[in-house]
C-alpha cells in the first residue's frame, strides 16, 4: 500500500530520516528495533516515540476498555502505565480479558502485562477519587475507561486543576448498539473540557447517580462486546499518543470521536470551549507542604494551615472527601462517628452489626474546635479516610476560600 492511499492529496509523506529518534530509548537491542520502526509511524514522528517511551499513562478502569488499552499501550512501548480500579473480578466479567473471579482486576491485568514487558504496569486497587493528587501529577495523560457518567465532574475538575489532559472513553452498555466514544477534555492549552457543553440541569442528573465507593455492585452492568471495546481502546491509544507526542493535536483537542460499528461509521465531533463552562476551567496553584508521613493528625494539619494563613481559625475541607459525623444501624440506632466515605464506620454499639454513614449529616469540612468536639483532632488523616499520599485541602474562613493546601 502507498502513503497516498490513506492521505489527502496535499499531504506530504514523512521523511524517514527525520522520523528516526536520534537517541536510543534503551540499550536493549529489541527496544531500539521497536523504536526505529514505531518512530517511522506518522504519530511518532519528530521524536514522538522518544516522548512516548518516557511517558506515564494513567488508566482508570481495568475492565472491558481499560484492559485492552493497557495491553496495547504496553506493547506500543509507553514508558509506564498506572491502572486504577477498586473492583474485583467476577465470573460475569469473564468476557473481559484478564479478569479472574475473586482477584482484584488491576492485579490480573498487571500480571498479564508483566509477561509482555516487565515492570511497566503498576495496578492500584483504589478509587481514582481517593488516589490523591500525587498520582495525577505522575501521569502525562489520564484515560478514564471506567464508563461511569458520575465521574464527569470530579475527573474533569481535577484534570483542569492539575492541568492533566483527560480522555474519557465509553461504550454503549445497553447491548442495543455497537457504539462508543473517545472524548478529549483538556482545558490548560485553552481547549474544551468535558463540562463545556453541560448545563446545570444535566450536571445535576449526572451527580444523582454518583455511587458510593465500594458499591460497584449497585451499578448497572455494561452489556457490550469486545469488538467495539477494542475499537474504542484503539482510538483512545492513538489520542493519548497524540497528546504525549504533540503530533496531530488538532485531531484530539476540542474533539469527541464517535464510533458506530452498528452502521460502520466514525464521526469526529467538535467540542467548542465555552467561556461559561460550569467548571470555570480553574487551574489550581496550591500551597505545598511536606507531610510528615501517614501518621499526620488533623490537629497537625490545622497548625500547618493556620501558620500559612496568619494563625486565624480556619475550616479544613478534604477535596472530594466530605466528612461524615454520624452512622446508622439497621437496628435503628444512630451514633456519632467520624470519617469520610473511604473510612469504615464503627460497629453498632447496641447490636454489634456493621453500620453505614448517615449521609444527610455529612459536612464539607470542620474547624479545629469542631474536630475536638467530634474526638478526631488527634487521629491520623489516613484513619479518617483521607488520602495518605498527596491529599488536597481547601482552607476556608467562613464561606471564603483562602487557598488550597497540598500535602506531599
Ligand atoms: Zn469546560
Ligand atoms: Zn445496631
Which CATH number characterizes residue 217's domain? Answer: 3.40.50.720
DSSP 8-class letter at 209:
T
pLDDT at 17: 35
Residues 216 and 312 in one domain: no
Q: Are residues 241 and 291 in the same domain?
A: no
Ligand with smallest separation from the Cα of 327: 2
pLDDT digits (tens, 9 = 90+) for 192-223: 999 998 877 777 765 554 444 444 445 667 78
Tell me how far the alpha carbon of residue 80 lies from the centroid of ligand 1, in angstroms: 28
Ligand at shortest distance from the CA of 275? 1
Cα 213 vs. chain centroid, distance in angstroms?
Answer: 14
Q: Do 92 and 121 lie in a common domain?
A: yes
Alpha carbon 29 to chain centroid, angstroms: 34
Q: Which ligand is nearest to the CA of 271?
A: 1
Distance 358 CA to ligand 2 centre (A): 14
> DSSP string spanning 269-323?
EE----TT-TTTTPPP-PEEE----TT-BHHHHHHHHHHHTTT---EEEETT-PB
Per residue in 101-126, pLDDT (tens digit) is 899 999 999 999 999 999 999 999 99
Is residue 374 included in any domain, yes or no?
A: yes
| pTM across the whole model | 0.86
pLDDT of residue 174: 84
Check if the beta carbon of residue 183 is closer than 8 Å to that of residue 194: yes
Please write the tens of the pLDDT for every residue from 297-337: 999 999 999 988 888 899 999 999 999 999 999 999 999 99
**131 in the same domain as 262:** yes
Same domain? For 297 and 230 the reply is no
Residue 271 Cα, ligand 1 centroid: separation in angstroms?
A: 10
Distance 328 CA to ligand 2 centre (A): 8
Locate 287 and state its grid cell.
500551597
Pair (358, 398) in one structural domain: yes
CA 348 – ligand 2 centroid, Å: 5
Amino acid at each position: 500500500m502507498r502513503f497516498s492511499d490513506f492521505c489527502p492529496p496535499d499531504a506530504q509523506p514523512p521523511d524517514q530520516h527525520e522520523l528516526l529518534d536520534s537517541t536510543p530509548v534503551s540499550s536493549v537491542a529489541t527496544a531500539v528495533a521497536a523504536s526505529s520502526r514505531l518512530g517511522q509511524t506518522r504519530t511518532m514522528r519528530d521524536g514522538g516515540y522518544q516522548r512516548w517511551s518516557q511517558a506515564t499513562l494513567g488508566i482508570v478502569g481495568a475492565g472491558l476498555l481499560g484492559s485492552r488499552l493497557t495491553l496495547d499501550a504496553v506493547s506500543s512501548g509507553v514508558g509506564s502505565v498506572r491502572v486504577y480500579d477498586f473492583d474485583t473480578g467476577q465470573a460475569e466479567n469473564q468476557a473481559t480479558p484478564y479478569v479472574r473471579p475473586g482477584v482484584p482486576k488491576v492485579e490480573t491485568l498487571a500480571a498479564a502485562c508483566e509477561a509482555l514487558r516487565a515492570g511497566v504496569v503498576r495496578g492500584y486497587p483504589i478509587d481514582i477519587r481517593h488516589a490523591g493528587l500525587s498520582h495525577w501529577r505522575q501521569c502525562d495523560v489520564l484515560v478514564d475507561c471506567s464508563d461511569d457518567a458520575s465521574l464527569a465532574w470530579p475527573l474533569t475538575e481535577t484534570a483542569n486543576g492539575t492541568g492533566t489532559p483527560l480522555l474519557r472513553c465509553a461504550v454503549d452498555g445497553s447491548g442495543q448498539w455497537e457504539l462508543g466514544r473517545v472524548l478529549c477534555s483538556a482545558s490548560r492549552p485553552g481547549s474544551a473540557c468535558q463540562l463545556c457543553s453541560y448545563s446545570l440541569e444535566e450536571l445535576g442528573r449526572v451527580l444523582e447517580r454518583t455511587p458510593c465507593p465500594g458499591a460497584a455492585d449497585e451499578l448497572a452492568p455494561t452489556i457490550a462486546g469486545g469488538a467495539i471495546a477494542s475499537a474504542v481502546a484503539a482510538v483512545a491509544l492513538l489520542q493519548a499518543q497524540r497528546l504525549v507526542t504533540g503530533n496531530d493535536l488538532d485531531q484530539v483537542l476540542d474533539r469527541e470521536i464517535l464510533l458506530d460499528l452498528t452502521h460502520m461509521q466514525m464521526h469526529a465531533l467538535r467540542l467548542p470551549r465555552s467561556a461559561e463552562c460550569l467548571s470555570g476551567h480553574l487551574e489550581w496553584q496550591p500551597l505545598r507542604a511536606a507531610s510528615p508521613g501517614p501518621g499526620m493528625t488533623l490537629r497537625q494539619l490545622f497548625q500547618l494551615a493556620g501558620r500559612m494563613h496568619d494563625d486565624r481559625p480556619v475550616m479544613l475541607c478534604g477535596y472530594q472527601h466530605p466528612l461524615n459525623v454520624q452512622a446508622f444501624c439497621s437496628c435503628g440506632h444512630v451514633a456519632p462517628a467520624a470519617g469520610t466515605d473511604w473510612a469504615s464506620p464503627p460497629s453498632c454499639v447496641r447490636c454489634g452489626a456493621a453500620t453505614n454513614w448517615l449521609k444527610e449529616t455529612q459536612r464539607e469540612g470542620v474547624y479545629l474546635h469542631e474536630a475536638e468536639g467530634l474526638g478526631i483532632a488527634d487521629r491520623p488523616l489516613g484513619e479518617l479516610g483521607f488520602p495518605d499520599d498527596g491529599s488536597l485541602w481547601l482552607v476556608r474562613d467562613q464561606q471564603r476560600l483562602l487557598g488550597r493546601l497540598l500535602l506531599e
